[in-house]
Amino acid sequence: MSEFNKTPRLVLLPAVDIAAGKAVRLTQGEAGTETNYGDPVDAAADWAAQGAEWIHLVDLDAAFGRGHNHGIIKKVLRQVKGVNIELSGGIRDDESLESALDMGAKRINLGTAALENPEWAASVIAQYGEAIAVGLDVRGTTLAARGWTKDGGDLWAVLERLENAGCARYVLTDVTKDGTLQGPNIELLKQVMARTHRPVVASGGISSLDDIAALRELVPGGLEGAIVGKALYAGAFTLAEALDVARN
């Protein structure tokens, strides 16, 4: 089969969300809905062993402004070799950004800072380029900030501003679907991809291999990857099975 006949593969990023030193999953991003899945280092090592090229690592305590898990994150980065880490949660200034990159994160996912401090976000986008993604976490078309506890403005206005700043990549999460296993918001993804030529990563709601297949159909339109969380931890499918659908 020629390269021209192939649909480009979908990059999968298994998620490791850390709270109080444990790997957890939330429902709709709400503090207090945590389900505990054990040691984050073990979780990350398991995804790496199953073939992950990327891991989406989130410091929930930093995102909620209730501390951080830097020690655990350093341990994950040190022990899980050969896998790219996208790090998210509480990165809101030069110091936290530089610290995250120094720890070995390949890409930083900015959230609240991109909404509340647009001048700073534009400057680091210009400085670091591909190392910066912006997380667009939405309910309807209203962005969510501060660990999804505050409104962060209108999706389309913020997207236009980030486009003008030259943002390299967007991670789009439908907060109402995150951790619910109700399927991704395909329509929202299409709407965002229609307004940017930059790659988009989908997050929230993936429940089945059919969902992975549906997202792969969006790759020609600009979808680059998908973050997979609760479905993996709940055993709906294995990462190896998901990668097979995403690549073939």
* Neighbour tally for 64: CB within 10 Å: 17
| Spatial separation of the C-alpha atoms in residues 93 and 206, rounded to whole Å | 31
C-beta of residue 87 within 8 angstroms of C-beta of residue 47: no
Which is the catalytic residue, given 46, 59, 61, 137? 137
| Spatial separation of the C-alpha atoms in residues 96 and 102, rounded to whole Å | 10
174 classed as catalytic: no
- Please report, for residues 113, 197, 198, the alpha-carbon distance to residue 192 in angstroms, rounded to integers and kept in the order given: 20, 10, 10
| Spatial separation of the C-alpha atoms in residues 192 and 94, rounded to whole Å | 28
Q: How many separate helices (H) and strands (E) can be counted in the chain?
A: 11, 12
93 classed as catalytic: no
Q: At what angle do helices 94-103 and 118-128 cross, to 10 degrees?
A: 30
Residues forming the active site: 17, 137
